[in-house]
Amino acid sequence: AQSVSQHNHHVILSEAASLELGCNYSYGGTVNLFWYVQYPGQHLQLLLKYFSGDPLVKGIKGFEAEFIKSKFSFNLRKPSVQWSDTAEYFCAVNAVSNTGKLIFGQGTTLQVKP
Amino acid sequence: SAVISQKPSRDICQRGTSLTIQCQVDSQVTMMFWYRQQPGQSLTLIATANQGSEATYESGFVIDKFPISRPNLTFSTLTVSNMSPEDSSIYLCSASKETGSDTQYFGPGTRLTVL
């Protein structure tokens, strides 16, 4: 069965620190990969996605993620976080098929201290 | 993209009752889904809402407990039946324009508390 694992459950950083959130998945076939963000009091929003092509994808608000197929990983990065990045971040995987089913990781709560 | 709204945004219900959650998309979409996010946990897919046919349920979810309707390409409902406190969760609707592996856009969720 497919699964998604996010390594960090709760991360606390100071402003301007660099961020890397780990995400690994288990599935042997072709996948699409997503990072979603949920800001306090808001609904889930797409941060970035990878379908094919350049494994380094850039999303909104200065976030990027790198797909490393050999490691089954899709880690999220940002060189310098801001207080407004405080949110919960979810990695999700979708096996390329017609079902559209998304498998989510457990989520990582990021707290950025001003 | 798609803009999704849900009603109600939250509700407090008594044990044994049922609640129907509505999901409205601002444009026609091919796929609609219902997820559950239990307190402190991640999102779990309940079912895929199929237009014009019965929903496709994931393991652990059954139609009698979570009946779903999808009468057209922009609207779906999820009913949580015979509720118990264990059903207290956030229920989210999502939609994607295309079949297969297209990006899913999410509604704001319905926060359900069962007493």
Residue B43 to residue A90, Cβ atoms within 8 A: yes
B113: DSSP letter: E
Contacts of B56 in chain A (CB under 8 A): 99
Q: Taking all residues of chain B, what is their mean pLDDT, rounded to a whole number? A: 93
CB-based contact A102 B107, cutoff 8 Å: no
Tell me if chain A has a CB within 8 Å of the CB of B89.
no
The Cα B106–Cα B96 span in angstroms is 9
B45 touches chain A (CB under 8 A): yes
> B37-84 pLDDT, tens per residue?
998 888 999 999 988 888 999 999 999 999 999 999 999 999 999 999
CA distances from A24 to A14, A66, B36 (A): 25, 11, 22
User: Min CA distance, B92 vs chain A (Å)?
Assistant: 9
Chain A: residue whose CA lies nearest to B33: A101
Q: How many CA atoms lie within 13 A of A76 on its CB side?
A: 30
Q: Which residues of A fall within a CB distance of 8 Å from B96? A: 100
Instruction: Give percent above pLDDT 70 in chain B.
Output: 97
Chain B residue nearest residue A108, CA to CA: B42
Whether A108 contacts chain B with CB within 8 A: no
CB count in 10 Å sphere of residue B89: 21
A24-59: pLDDT as tens digits: 999 878 889 999 999 988 889 999 999 999 999 999
B107 inside 8 A of chain A by CB = yes
Mean pLDDT of A100-104: 88
Q: How big is the A-B interface in CB pairs under 8 Å?
A: 58
Is B109's Cβ below 8 Å from some Cβ in A? yes
Q: Please count the other Cβ atoms lying within 10 Å of the Cβ belonging to residue A52.
A: 9
Task: Quote the percentage of chain A above a pLDDT of 90.
Answer: 78
Q: What is the pLDDT of residue A61?
A: 94
Give A34's contacts in chain B (Cβ within 8 Å). Answer: 103
pLDDT at B101: 63
Q: How would DSSP label each residue in A4-27?
A: EEES-SEEEEETT--EEE-EEEE-
